[in-house]
Amino acid sequence: MVETLVLVRHAKAQKRVEGLDDIDRKLTLAGRRSFETTATQAFSYFAKTDRKDMQIWTSPARRARQTAKIVGRVLKIEYGSIHDSIYADTPDQLVEELKQAEGCVIVVGHNPVLQDILTTLSGNEHAFGKAAVAVLGNIEPDFSHADLLWFAQGPESSRWKVLTKLEDVTVAAGMRIANNYQAMLDNPYDEEALHQYRISLRSARSLLAFIEPYQKLKQNRNIEHLLKRLQDDTSDLREYDMLCKTIAKQEAKLVLESMEKFGSPTGSNAFPRLAEAAKRQRDEERLRYSNRMAKASTRKLVEEASDELINTEWRSDVEIEGISREDIRDRFETMRRKYLKILAHTDFEDHEETHILRKRAKRLRYISKELSSLLGADHARMTSDMKAVQDQLGDICDARNNQRIVNKLLPKHGKAALRQEATAFLGTQRAAEKLAVAELKNMEDKLKAAPSAPQPEQQSEM
């Protein structure tokens, strides 16, 4: 008869949903990963045991068969045989089959059958959670009693559920970069295509900053280096696009003011020569940029960055322990507090300090968007409050960039009429910068007074 009986409940599986037969429910990614990570320790009782007489019996249910395969890999024994009795509502038939077996039998199955057998043999109630392992010996021939030799409760799969969600986000980030890069190649003169490509790069860099404590450092640094090279390559074209848009907006604003004052659009085409000079430079830069983007070396950078994001490597302790929702929220709160500290000490007259603060504000917004399901509504609302600050920082930086580019254009296109237009336009940008700085200072106290997000209770998994 059986000398040793090992009971193993299947790992965390899909929830019951209409249209999916119970027998077809499979392990969730978090369930599989959590058991794969902890199974070696769970079966350490057999570390020095001769395993030639071991056999695995499994329920026909897909989730049990998947769990049994993991057990087989850990113990380095045959996958085993399927027994319908393990999937039954009562343990009676399974017990009769076990009475006829020999050696060590590992039964991978379900509650309440496994729970009933464990309670009957050990004489005590034991919470037998998902992926739990119980080893019983000295079994009475009539299966009325046995000694509980080893017990390992199953892992809490929620920590791997969070890690799996992070992986989903990094995979999506890698795919977006590749797709947006191709879209930009297909439409080199589409400003929106460039905009979406830049967003995908910036969003991915924000994610990298967030997951740095959890990711293998070498890979994190490598991906950041690749993405920075790709984003830096877009900067000049983006700035010329922004200048052309700002000139058009200023002309539209003057037209509106003219209509209100004089009833006619006397302010239209207020900067025709400047607009033409900016457009000419933008088109030249777009051609240079398109040629750079089409090079095999650039495609290789994009492919490498995308592949690395899709195949994110985690630190060994993260692989073993997973990540909790509290870890994610604490990490975000730490980054937010650091941002607020920098905000409190930023000199908005300093171009570099303002630019750095803007990048940090963008980073928090991208992270909040990508990880909204993990951070919760309170963090999302706090980040929404910061949007107005980021917009003002953007207005400041754009106005300063516009001034810098226009001053750079003048030596190339230095006619008197153009200089007159440039002088007028520069005045509008200095005024816009001054207004944005004043509004930002008014908003600063409100943002610094925002409370930390409450920590919601941990949601249990069923």
Q: How far apart are CA 18 and CA 39, in angstroms?
A: 31
For 311-345, letters b (16+ CB in 10 Å) and e give: ebebeeebbebbbbbebbbebbbebbeebbeebee
Q: How far apart are CA 413 and CA 68, in angstroms?
A: 75
Confidence of residue 461 (pLDDT cuts 50, 70, 90): very low
Residue 459's pLDDT is 39
Amino acid at 181: Y
Domain spanning 159-448, CATH class: mainly alpha
Give pTM, 2 decimals: 0.76
pLDDT at residue 451 greater than cutoff 80: no
144 by Cβ neighbours in 10 Å (0-12 / 13-18 / 19+) ranks as exposed
Q: Which residues contact 35 (CB under 8 A, 6 or more apart)?
A: 11, 12, 27, 67, 70, 131, 154, 155
pLDDT at residue 386 greater than cutoff 80: no
What does each C-alpha distance from 251 to 191, 244, 404 come to in angstroms? Answer: 20, 11, 19
The pLDDT tens digits of the residues spanning 21-45 come to 999 999 988 899 899 989 999 999 9
The pLDDT tens digits of the residues spanning 141-167 come to 999 999 999 999 998 888 888 998 999
Q: Which residues contact 229 (CB under 8 A, 6 or more apart)?
A: 301
Q: Which residues contact 426 (CB under 8 A, 6 or more apart)?
A: 403, 406, 407
| CA-based end-to-end distance of the chain | 36
What does each C-alpha distance from 180 to 171, 173, 185, 194, 296 come to in angstroms? Answer: 14, 11, 9, 8, 17
Q: How many H-runs (helices) and E-runs (strands) does the chain carry? A: 16, 6
Residue 104's pLDDT is 95
Common-topology check for domains 2-155 and 159-448: no
Q: Do 239 and 409 contact (CB within 8 A), yes or no? A: no
Q: Which of 9-23, 92-106, 238-252, 431-445 has the highest average model confidence (pLDDT)?
A: 92-106
Q: Do 260 and 420 contact (CB within 8 A), yes or no? A: no
Residue 377's pLDDT is 72
> Beta strand pairing status for 2-9 and 133-137?
antiparallel
Q: Which residue's entry shows tokens 């002309």?
A: 251
Residue 17's pLDDT is 80
The pLDDT tens digits of the residues spanning 312-364 come to 999 988 988 889 999 999 999 999 899 888 888 888 889 899 999 999 989 99
Q: Do 54 and 39 contact (CB within 8 A), yes or no? A: no
CATH topology for 2-155? Answer: Rossmann fold (3.40.50)
Q: Which of 87-91, 198-202, 245-249, 358-362 has the highest average model confidence (pLDDT)?
A: 198-202
Which stretch of DSSP H or E encloses residue 60? none
The pLDDT tens digits of the residues spanning 186-211 come to 998 888 999 999 999 999 999 999 99
Mean model confidence pLDDT for the chain: 88
Residue 93's pLDDT is 95
What does each C-alpha distance from 53 to 77, 95, 148, 160, 340 come to in angstroms? Answer: 10, 19, 20, 33, 63
**pLDDT over 70, % of the chain:** 91
Residue 391's pLDDT is 86
Residue 455's pLDDT is 47
CA–centroid distance for 27 within its chain: 22
113 by Cβ neighbours in 10 Å (0-12 / 13-18 / 19+) ranks as buried
Query: What are 125's strand-pairing partners?
Result: none
Spell out the domain ranges in the chain: 2-155, 159-448
**pLDDT over 90, % of the chain:** 61
Confidence of residue 439 (pLDDT cuts 50, 70, 90): confident
Closest CA to 409 of 279, 277, 246, 237: 277
Q: Which residues contact 180 (CB under 8 A, 6 or more apart)?
A: 193, 196, 197, 199, 200
